[in-house]
Copies of this chain bind each other. A is one copy, B any other.
Amino acid sequence: MINIGIIGVGTVGQSVCRILHKNRKIITARAGVQLVVTKGIVQNLSKKRDINIMLSNNPDDVINNPDIDIVVELMGGVDEAFAVVKKALKNGKAVVTANKALLAYHRYELQECAKDLAFEYEAAVAGGIPIITALRDGLGANHILSIKGIMNGTTNYMLDAMINDGVDYDDILKKAQDMGYAEADPAFDVGGGDAAHKLLILASIAYGIDAKPEDILIEGIEDIQQADIKFAKEFNYTIKLLGIAKKLGDKVELRVHPVLIPTHKMIAKIDGVMNGISVVGDMVGETLYYGAGAGGDATASAVVANIIAIARQGKSSPMLGFDRPLEENLSLVAIDDIRTKYYIRLDVANKAGVLHSITEILSSKNISIETMLQDQKEDSRANLLLSVYETSEKDINDAISDIKKLNFVHENISKIRIED
């Protein structure tokens, strides 16, 4: 029998208990041993919960309990969770966590602390999709050329509705909140922060690169308007919020932002609240993993898979998948140096000379226009929608900054990167 202690018995923790009970026969057959939740830690002992386990409000009752073999950390947050998990490892416990923020900040220290102890975190990225196992173990023979993922279901749901039902951003945000897909404070989802945490974890497995959320380019979907969607449709693109990791020689590019992406790509076909991650390996080519990225049962499915693996084999892989440096001298591309194609939306006065002034500025930065659409608005203004060939983040930002100074251009200029 393997004894499990759960720290943080919220939605996911209760699902873990329910799955271990409901599916106990097949889980025992797969784990080769019975798995029992011995204790759960909660903040508020008097809150009603639909589970039947011993509760306490002191994490030490799990961490210091000599009977407990596996500690499941579902408390969330960074600092306190880090302290708790470190203590659990120090006490020789195997650890399973679903805490992406903890890993976004402390994954290398945790790999160091875990040493010969099992430390698993399948649920931290894309919920129920076994992407950690796939990337770390299934694709271990490959240099990973790129990872492009829809790693946040809330924003994918919102973009889908904006694109396919013509709903505006504010309206769909409210609806997502009503349906429980978005938090009361949606900034972490819509701003790309949630996806960034997950991207950093995957990038560590793929490249062994160490970066914090503060180090990378993160933009959200807040500025996307129906005019952008109209342009996208005109040129057979859809719009997705992607986490992107790419290897370019001895550099790695990490970024989270909305992209225009051709509709025929597999990742473009993932709609609604679902997640999907495309991984290109140098040997295997493109593989893609699709499923529910959130929800109690889907997330708990990944947590329980980790528990089964630990019950069966103890430590399998090193936490991030490598024992020695994966690649030497690998560094992050500076944000200013990131190069992509861009789409730009400008709100301009509808009069002669406008386009000429704009193209003059773009040309001075060696930026070439690929396509253009003019979208007439009321009051003698127009949306000017441009796509430009590959250029650097610095050059496009400098150009936009100069264009903003033109007195017939509204300063609200929006850009979306294009991922072909």
Name A's B-contacting residues (CB within 8 A): 15, 19, 23, 25-32, 122, 128-130, 133-134, 137-143, 208, 266, 269-270, 281-292, 295, 297-298, 300-305, 308-309, 312-313, 315-318, 321-327
Contact = CB atoms under 8 A, between A and B. Distances in A.
A377 to B, nearest CB: 34
Contact of A291 (B140, B288, B324): B288
Contacts of A140: 27, 30-31, 304-305, 308-309
From A285, A300, A313, A326, residue with most partner B Cβ within 10 Å: A285
A30 B318 CA distance: 8
Contact of A305 (B128, B139, B270): B139
A285 B15 CA distance: 14
Contacts of A28: 324
6 closest Cβ pairs, A-B complex: A130-B138, A141-B304, A287-B291, A128-B284, A288-B290, A284-B301
Oligomeric state, in number of copies? 2
B322 A29 contact: yes
Given A29-B322, A129-B287, A325-B29, A134 B138 contact: yes
A142 B23 contact: yes
Nearest to A208: B29
A140 to B, nearest CB: 5
A295 B297 CA distance: 36
A122 B31 CA distance: 20
B128 A285 contact: yes
A165 to B, nearest CB: 15
Nearest to A16: B141
A137 B292 contact: no
A388 to B, nearest CB: 30
Given A29-B324, A283-B297, A317-B312, A290 B266 contact: yes
From A283, A286, A316, residue with most partner B Cβ within 10 Å: A283
27 contacts: A23-B141, A23-B143, A25-B327, A27-B140, A29-B208, A29-B323, A29-B325, A30-B322, A31-B140, A32-B318, A32-B324, A130-B134, A137-B305, A138-B302, A139-B305, A140-B309, A141-B303, A141-B308, A142-B301, A283-B301, A283-B304, A284-B298, A285-B291, A285-B298, A312-B316, A313-B315, A313-B317
Given A27-B141, A31-B140, A32-B324, 14 more contacts: A26-B143, A29-B324, A32-B318, A128-B285, A130-B133, A130-B138, A133-B134, A134-B289, A137-B308, A140-B308, A284-B292, A285-B298, A287-B292, A288-B289
A124 B32 CA distance: 25
A283 B266 contact: no
